[in-house]
Amino acid sequence: MSRGALEGIVVADFSRVLAGPYATMLLGDLGAEIVKIERPGVGDDTRAWGPPFDNEGNATYFNSVNRNKTSLVLDLGTEDGRARARDLVSRADIVVENFRAGTMERLGLGYDDLRTIKPDLIYCSITGFGHGGGADMPGYDLLVQAVGGLMSMTGPEPGSPTKIGVALVDVLTGLHALAGILAALNHRNSTGQGQRVDTNLLSVLLSSLVNQASGYLGAQAVPAIMGNRHPSIAPYEVFPTADRPIALAVGNDKQFAQLSDALGLPELAVDERFRTNTSRVVNRAALCDVVSAGLAAEGADHWFTTLTAAGVPAGPINDIAEAFDFAEQLGLDAVVDVPGSSTPQVANPISMSATPVQYRSAPPQLGDAEEN
């Protein structure tokens, strides 16, 4: 097996559930050694988050973010457990934890405690709402989507706030944690200095609201629920066809002209109501009526083929099975077999020419590090 980009890096992973484990799994994919610390008897909460379970009885939720790790059972409520944790940290490069703010400090395992053991330690702390006024708030993704504004702009219609169909804030927070850790590693390589990396779900969500957040800060525009419509682009939404819906993502005037031609309605591109994106947004209702009438003539597969050939971003609304099949058709290798597992996993989406990602081991059984 080729060397991973992070080969030789050891991570003491005190995190559980999703944001932290996702970040550490990616570090493991990149070659780092990940030792996952788990509670006696139960381990990570997600070991019990099922159904669904795989054919070996393991929760597929746990499997999704825990490959390339070993599991070390420690009771951090005991001095022996904390001593063993400190021993692990003494040979580690990185600590990742996502306990409620202040928990690791109360255990004597905070950054200031552990850097006395390992001065060049990189210590990444992930919380729900930071270490200030929100320190006591539990960091669950649904809660953050609610109080962070995301649900206020997501849903089928006004008055029906809806969460995203996956714990996306946790995933985004894991990615931000990974970016901070890698930046800290680069700084350590240059200076020999470790540091603390902090991120939290609410701050990550506000940053990830990008154009919507900027619209509020720059123009006091408070976004509302618009279903599948886009506040600044049209037509950029889901339309019915003769059989099932299709998504159109027309991002500029050239693409709109191509759409008009493909629908057999070239006059739309020179109609003053629709000639520019701004005018299309203003006259969205009339535009949607015309586009919907044109799409009603054929089914989604026909329009996907026709519009893609015409240079118009479009695609049917696939379920997950169809999405994986589509990725396979495109040759994206989105599914991998992991040693030690009889069930496949989603591939790491990062491709590296010199140090490719690695799939060394299946998600660990509870306490397997003690058996090796």
Active site residues: 170
Helix residue ranges, H only, the chain? 19-29, 60-63, 79-90, 103-106, 111-114, 141-147, 168-191, 201-208, 210-219, 253-262, 277-282, 284-295, 300-309, 320-329, 368-371
Give the span between the Cα atoms of 325 and 82, in whole angstroms: 47
Q: Are strands 10-13 and 69-73 parallel, antiparallel or unpaired?
A: unpaired
* ω into 235 cis (within 30 of 0): yes
Give the span between the Cα atoms of 77 and 208, in whole angstroms: 36
How many degrees, rounded to 5, is the angle at CA 135 between CA 129 and CA 136? 110
DSSP 8-class letter at 279: H
Give the span between the Cα atoms of 52 and 44, in whole angstroms: 16
CB 5 within 8 Å of CB 355:
yes
Answer left, alpha or beta for residue 367, where phi above 0 means left and psi between -120 and 50 means alpha.
left
In 300-321, which positions are buried (b, 16+ CB within 10 angstroms) versus exposed (e)?
beebbeebeebebebebeeeee
How many degrees, rounded to 5, is the angle at CA 231 between CA 227 and CA 237? 50
> What do you get for the CA distance between the two ends of the chain, in Å?
20
Q: Give every strand in the sheet of 236-239, ordered side by side.
A: 236-239, 246-249, 314-316
Residue 155 CB neighbour total at 10 angstroms: 16
How many helices (H) does the chain have, and how many strands (E)?
15, 11
